[in-house]
Amino acid sequence: MSTNTQVLIIGYVWVEPTSSAAGSRMLQLINLFLENNYEVTFASPAQKGENAFDLSQMGVTETEIVLNSSSFDAFIQELNPNIVVFDRFMMEEQFGWRVVENCPNAIRILDTEDLHFLRKVRYTQLKNAEEFSDIALLKSDEAKREIASILRCDLSLIISSYEMRLLKDVFRIDESILLYLPFLLDVIDESKQEAWLPYEEREDFVFVGNFFHKPNVDAVLELKRMWRGIRERLPKVNIHIYGAYVSQQIQQLHKPDQGFILHGYTSDVIEKVSKAKVVLAPLRFGAGIKGKLTEAMICGTPSVTTAIGAEGMRDEFPWNGFVEDDLNAFADLAIKLYTEKEIWLQAQNNGVKIINTIYDKTILGNKFTEKLNYLQNEIESHRNANFLGSLLQYQTLQATKYMSKWIEEKNKPTS
């Protein structure tokens, strides 16, 4: 592949791999492009946080862009990228029409991260004590926006096998515009396994999660509710909570005398998880796949989670611990996994099989590269086969274009 092939990634936020799974995922994609000799530019309209990764040290150009501004048109015309990646559907909504107008031949890729409408509908139904259903998804305004964005793009990257089935079976999306691409991870070889701390040298439970993310807030509240019962049976054991952007609500849960210890942000999640005996993740809603649970497997640390937590992550393999939705049973299984070495060792081994079979970055990277090569050679016929996408592109182009231009005019200073 030629060294002058340009990729523009339009980021919803700046990359923070130590703050969220989404940040780690984006870094994996950037590395994949770089390994294939693409020149990468990362642009975002967001403010940079203190945990933002310096992409320039990888040879990536970083550029600040502005919403609802024709300055983006001049920027993308000069860059003239071969590929544009939208980080989440909101960026496609904002900038997709400008890309089509200024670089019509660029391949447009949507990295969904996870299906946002799925997480939002589940959250609403949990609050309303409603049973989850596909009908609610089909009625969701957020689903209509995100599905429209998927249809407008040449390819959408789908991180979860569950979400692939949902898009194909419930929303009837043609598989030709979807690519299953979960986390791109290194194989856990024997040398890595031998470096893990043994069962006897590990202690305590751990939870990791970014607290901008509502499912993580809810999960920690659930942990606090069940913690007293666990602590009564394991009086010397603690649970350590790590995560960026701690809210006041979460800070108030910090009770070291009760073994419930809130640490906040850490730049080295792997080190913390590698020393723990068990990861706990009682996630009651959400979408995508969970970085905290693949990190657990990478560290050789078994976990207890829910059906939502394990969803789309393991195919038919047994879990790296236990999957349980009932909170009383969840606490019992947490204690069982913590105290029974043979079960713990088997769970650890299960995690190795999951990572090495499903998340092998070499196999997944080759699949992604093959798809890109196909699109670059067959983009016209590929787009012709996606009539709904071209229809939505036409309709949306008109609507968002004139709304954006109106906002741009409105924002201009008056004389």
- Write the DSSP assignment of 76-88 as a string of letters: HHHH--SEEEEES
Where does 6-185+361-408 sit in CATH, by number?
A: 3.40.50.2000
Domain ranges for the chain:
6-185+361-408, 190-358
**What is the torsional sign of CA 65, 68, 69, 72?**
positive
pLDDT of residue 391: 79
CB-count exposure of residue 78 (10 Å: 0-12, 13-18, 19+): exposed
Query: Helix or strand or coil: residue 195?
Result: helix
Q: How far apart are CA 126 and CA 121, in angstroms?
A: 9
| Residue pair 188/356 in contact by the 8 Å Cβ criterion | yes
Which residue from 162, 149, 154, 152 is spatially nearest to 178, judged by alpha carbons? 154
| Residue pair 276/240 in contact by the 8 Å Cβ criterion | yes
pLDDT of residue 398: 60
* pLDDT (average), residues 18-30: 87
Tens of pLDDT, residues 60-90: 999 999 998 999 999 999 999 999 999 999 9
Interhelix angle 387-411/141-152, rounded to 10 degrees, is 110
Percent of the chain that is helix, strand, coil (3-state, to 5): 55, 15, 35
> Chain centroid to CA 336: how far?
30
| Residue pair 208/242 in contact by the 8 Å Cβ criterion | yes
pLDDT of residue 252: 94
Query: Helix or strand or coil: residue 343?
Result: helix
Q: Minimum mean pLDDT among 36-40, 173-177, 263-267, 336-340: which range?
A: 263-267
Question: Does residue 264 surpass a pLDDT of 60?
Answer: yes
Tens of pLDDT, residues 93-103: 999 999 999 99
pTM recorded for the entire structure: 0.90
Q: How far apart are CA 154 and CA 311, in angstroms?
A: 26
Q: How far apart are CA 281 and CA 296, in angstroms?
A: 11
Q: Minimum mean pLDDT among 3-17, 326-340, 345-359, 392-406: which range?
A: 392-406
**What is the torsional sign of CA 299, 301, 302, 308?**
negative
Tens of pLDDT, residues 45-63: 999 988 889 999 999 999 9
Same fold, 6-185+361-408 and 190-358: yes
For residue 307, how many C-alpha atoms fall within 13 Å in the half-sphere facing its CB? 4
Q: How far apart are CA 298 and CA 351, in angstroms?
A: 8
Give the torsion through C-alpha atoms of 223, 274, 269, 22, to 10 deg: -80
* pLDDT (average), residues 157-167: 96
Q: How far apart are CA 110 and CA 90, in angstroms?
A: 10
CB atoms within 10 A of CB 305: 27
Report the share of the chain in percent with pLDDT over 90: 82
pLDDT of residue 2: 38
**Strand extents, DSSP E, 178-302:** 178-180, 205-208, 239-242, 260-264, 278-281
Assign a CATH topology to domain 190-358: Rossmann fold (3.40.50)
